[in-house]
Structure 1
Amino acid sequence: MIPIGSGDGLKNLEGHSDFDVVWPWRRPGGLRRGATAVLRVRNEAPSLRFVLPPLLRAVDHVLLVDNNSDDGTGAEALRVAAESGHADRFTLKHYPFDVARAGAEHLAQHERSVHSLAYFYNWCFSHVETRYSWKWDGDMVLTTEGEVSLADLSWQVGNTDAVVRVPRHGLYLESDSRAHLDLGLRNIEEWGFPMGPDFVYAKAPEWEIRTTPERFEMFALPQGLCVELKYLDGDEFAHWTDPQSFATSLRNRRKRREWTVFNALNEGTVPEGVVTLEAPAGMHVVDYVTKEWLPRVPRPFVVDDPAHARG
């Protein structure tokens, strides 16, 4: 079997040549030193005013790929980037094809289709021009410490093969002044990767997965550097085919925890390991948590909730 990252790129099954994947390390001139954060987003407009400013300050470039948003995500991203004073570090691209939702819908999709999660991710990252990349979500907000840490790393990782794991904690927004921070689950996924043929996306049973060589260096950042925004009045699981499957899949421990916390909070119950926070008057709760509360709270945080530690 020919490795995915070999050759010059990937052609999609549908024949949309404008959206063929061309590996950036094969382009004339190659990749430059630095790190790029890549956001693949759909309807994330409300979060971008919190997500983009610290990220734009922390990395060399931010690439945001808008996938058929209908809430003005693209326009909001451009506005926030310009307002932050870092429009020169920001690129907006559009991906016009509907992408399969994680789970059964993804499993049924061919890996080389423009509707495949794996193909979509490879297309997004094919536009990176730096030697390192951060896989970032449109709802992930750096804390004050997180911004400094990522900025320090971004100039160091440009010539390495290290994979970086970034802990993040769900911040469930009840209103502009009240939120619930889940410190009961340490979610430490791989979010930083070198750009090269050994680090591309392949199809896994329920989602995409980034391939890695057998031997590589990996390290994790400390807790408290990033939160992931969840809106209690929104549909936080719309990108999944069947959220009920979280209860049966051994691979979905994190999603089971999110499903449990989200539904419990909407029913008026605060689960073990979740902290309820109120922002001071005149301050948004996201700013309060990321700029004041989290940087001051003692480490380590609450350990994993025993009720969700199995499977």
Structure 2
Amino acid sequence: MTDNHLLLSNLEELHDFDVSWPRDFRAQKPGVTSVLRVKNEARSLPWVLPPLFEAVQHVVVVDNQSDDGTPDVARRVAEESGAADRLTVTAYPFDVSRCGAEHLATPEASVHNLAYFYNWSFAHVDTAYSMKWDGDMVLTREGIETYADLSWQLESVEAVIAMPRHPLFVESDRVAYLDVYMINVEEYVFPMGEAYRHVKAYEWEMRMVPRQARRVRLPEGLCVELKYLDSDEFDHWVGPDAFGATPRTMRKLREWEVFHALKEGRADEIEGVVRIEAPADYDHVITYVTQSWLPRQQRPITVPVDQRPGFAEELTSVPKAADKASAAPR
């Protein structure tokens, strides 16, 4: 370690897994590196990786005990994309606490904590900016072009980039469902300085952002998040009891309800879910959605709350402020 890096040690004293974190993003190479922390994402990576290789300078895949050949698939896709020299594959061999109470009970400096896992994963980045990415997120063509432009636009600024993503529930090769009632906006691109480390927060980890950083929000339509109806999409959580328990987890509650309604064949019971079937000339519904269907949709793609059926009726049924004040317990 040099003076240009901050050393983070773990409680278990496993020094091969100490974290060397850069102090100043300006001392790093120009560009953006995408970091994927994955477990059993072999099915999704052939959709996820090729757009990323077009969008960023380097991709780091951190495998967390997969048993489906995820690392080999990542290497194969990189080779087929002509990007083998821009892929780093490494392994994190520890059980990581699941979101919720299990995460909260795990010390932040433990190798089993989400924040430590994230810091170790992102410490493999040698570019000025890193991009948090999941092993089930697929860029559209518009998304590829947007992130490719960012790599040079960020060279002279200090900024954090947020982006909406759209949940795509995949039923089969031909059919999927897009939830246009759920908006999920997260910060994805960060400088790699000391002030941008991950810390333990709430039900999960959170990346720190100093006050001087600019915040930029990208438009909708750049990315879908794949959710296969024949898999367990919630195994990284302790359980569904926490969903909706706080405003922070309301999105997970909606996701849980939509997922199980679709899985049980109750699509007609859920408002805001659009069924999409791929035409015969597309090899897969994911290809159709990311390359054709989503780019053609009028913006905003997510239906605003005040334009949803029943919104006006809900407003008229809400007591006036004076009524609520008089009825409030004292």
User: TM-score, normalized by length of structure 2?
Assistant: 0.88
Q: Distance in 2 between matches of 1:55 and 1:196?
A: 23
Q: For the residues of structure 1 that align with 2:30 and 2:5, how far apart are their CA atoms?
A: 23
Deviations 1:148-203 (A, max 9, x none): 11111122113321110011000000001100011212211111111101111000
Counterpart position of 2:53 = 56
- Single out whichever of 81-90 and 264-273 deviates more from structure 2: 264-273
Task: Provide the C-alpha distance between the structure 2 equivalents of 1:7 and 1:50, rounded to a whole number of angstroms.
Answer: 35
> Where does 1:1-311 land on structure 2 (aligned, <5 Å)?
8-25=6-23, 30-270=27-267, 271-281=270-280, 282-304=282-304
Residues 5 and 23 in structure 2, CA contact (< 8 A), matched pair in contact too: no
Residue segments in structure 2 that go unaligned for 5+ positions in a row: 315-330
- Cα separation, 1, equivalents of 2:5 and 2:297: 49
Dislocated runs of 4+, deviation >6 Å:
none
Conserved 8 A contact 1:33-1:159: no
1:200, 1:211 within 8 Å by CA — same for their partners in 2? yes
Measured after TM superposition, the shift of residue 205 of structure 1 is 2.0
- 258-267 or 247-256, which deviates more: 247-256
Could you say what secondary structure the match of 1:46 adopts? coil
* Percent of pairs with identical residues: 57
Q: Does the CA contact (< 8 Å) of 1:247 and 1:256 recur in 2?
A: yes
TM-score (normalised: structure 1)? 0.93
Letter in 2 for 1:286: I
SS in 2 for 1:167: strand
Q: SS in structure 2 opposite 1:150?
A: helix
Task: Indicate conservation of the 8 Å contact 2:166/2:223, yes or no.
Answer: yes
Partner AA of 2:98 in structure 1: R
SS state at 2:43 partner: helix
AA at the equivalent of 2:91? H
Contact 1:131 1:159 in 2 (8 A): no
| Corresponding letter in the other structure for 1:300 | P
CA distance in structure 1 between the aligned counterparts of 2:233 and 2:81, rounded to whole angstroms: 27
Q: Structure 1 residues 106-115 or 158-167, which shifts more?
A: 158-167
Per-residue CA shift, 1:219-262, capped at 9, x if unaligned? 11110100000010100000001222103222102111111110
SS at match of 2:302: coil
In 2: Cα distance, 1:26 partner to 1:212 partner: 14
| Bigger shift: residues 39-48 or 209-218 | 209-218
Instruction: Report if the CA contact (8 A) 2:5-2:22 is conserved.
Output: no
Tell me by how many angstroms 1:26 deviates: 7.2
Rounded to whole Å, the distance in 2 between the matches of 1:156 and 1:114 is 35
Displacement of 1:9 after TM fit? Answer: 1.5
Number of residue equivalences:
303
1:262-302 CA distance string (max 9 Å, x none): 01111222222211101112520000000011111111123
Amino acid at match of 1:182: D
Conserved 8 A contact 2:139-2:224:
yes
1:166 alignment partner, SS class: strand
**Equivalent residues of 1:160, 1:194 under 8 A apart:** no
The CA RMSD over aligned residues, in Å, is 2.0
Contact 1:38 1:125 (C-alpha < 8 Å) held by counterparts: yes
Query: What secondary structure, in the 3-state scheme, does the structure 2 residue paired with 1:247 have?
Result: coil
